[in-house]
Amino acid sequence: MALPTLPFTFLLALLGLSVGSFLNVVAYRLPRGESLLWPRSHCPKCGHTLAARDLIPILSFLWLRGRCRFCRAPIPLRYPAVELGTGSFFVVAGLVFGPTWQLLRTLVLGSLFIAASLIDLDTMVLPDAFTLGGTALALLLPPGPRPVYLWGALVGFGLLLFIAWASRGGMGGGDVKLGLALGAFLGWPNVLIALFLAFFLGAAAGIALILAKRKRRSDHVPFGPFLVVGSLGTSLWGTKLLQLYLEYVWR
């Protein structure tokens, strides 16, 4: 495959930053039952409507030095972080897939799952619109409902259902439905890599939080974000990771 051109990569970066900015809005408004398109974005502290120049991803955060222009309330670092993360995901996906249907599929579903993980972080709830809706979308988007995606969905659902049962409430129904959606997104056997990465990241983060005394062992940490990060990594490099594993472990 020919390497994507520079303008294509630049366009994906702009698109990714803008989508990241929109995902912040989705994660803030959807759990509050607010409309996604109206009214214009406003400061959650003073309610002032933000000007167009205050909505430019990353840059507005930098030149406002992370504070609201009107009331000086700090803007959470999460906003530019989500923008930058989404932008990077778009750029790397463009480099991996080039201008293909697979790229479209990866960007649409990746964005959906990023929003879901933000809502899970805030509310500990994974809305069905994202998990069940994501499953339907993963089976409808090109290349359509192939056996590889159906098997992935079945395995993602089955494994998380088993873990939810074994952990006795440590993991909820939302995570099981997210497993279904991520399995349909990644397909078999890549869903296994994603789950492995998610558990590895989750365990590492859990230990780090306990050591930093930010959380106690009994505190609930949402697992959705780890599933999503593991899955986004797998959507980009899953086949390569599997090859490496087979080459070095099973030769």
Given the rule CB under 5 A, which of 66-74, 109-117, 148-156, 174-182 is the region that contacts Zn ion? 66-74
Compare residues 24 and 135 and give the one whose CB is closer to Zn ion. 24
- Could you identify the residue written with the tokens 């993602």? 156
Closest-CA residue to 157 (of 120, 186, 116, 119)? 186
The 3-state DSSP class for residue 42 equals strand
Q: What are the DSSP calls for 44-84, one per residue?
A: TTT-PBPPGGGGSTTHHHHHTTTB-TTT-PBPPTHHHHHHH
In a 13 Å sphere around the CA of 112, the CA atoms on its Cβ side amount to 22
70 binds Zn ion (CB under 5 A): yes
Cα–Cα distances (Å) from 87 to 11, 102, 113, 217, in that order, read 10, 17, 15, 34
Q: How far is the CB of 46 from Zn ion (least distance, A)?
A: 3
Q: How far is the CB of 47 from Zn ion (least distance, A)?
A: 7
Q: Which two tokens stand for residue 134?
A: 């994501």
Q: How far is the CB of 25 from Zn ion (least distance, A)?
A: 16
Torsion of CA 155, 161, 163, 169, to 10 degrees: 160
- Could you identify the residue written with the tokens 């439905």? 177
Given the rule CB under 5 A, which of 62-70, 78-86, 188-196, 227-235 is the region that contacts Zn ion? 62-70
Site for Zn ion in 33-52 (CB under 5 A): 43, 45-46
- Could you identify the residue written with the tokens 């303008």? 7
- Give the Cα separation of 116 and 47 in Å (integer): 25
240 binds Zn ion (CB under 5 A): no
Q: How far is the CB of 75 from Zn ion (least distance, A)?
A: 9
180 binds Zn ion (CB under 5 A): no
Compare residues 45 and 240 and give the one whose CB is closer to Zn ion. 45
Cβ neighbours of residue 165 under 8 Å, at least 6 residues apart?
Answer: none
- Give the Cα separation of 6 and 45 in Å (integer): 40
Compare residues 62 and 210 and give the one whose CB is closer to Zn ion. 62
Compare residues 72 and 220 and give the one whose CB is closer to Zn ion. 72
68 binds Zn ion (CB under 5 A): yes
Q: How far is the CB of 73 from Zn ion (least distance, A)?
A: 5
Compare residues 7 and 47 and give the one whose CB is closer to Zn ion. 47
Q: How far is the CB of 35 from Zn ion (least distance, A)?
A: 20
Compare residues 70 and 237 and give the one whose CB is closer to Zn ion. 70
14 binds Zn ion (CB under 5 A): no
Q: Count residues binding Zn ion (CB under 5 A).
A: 7
By the criterion CB under 5 A, which residues form the site for Zn ion?
A: 43, 45-46, 68, 70-71, 73
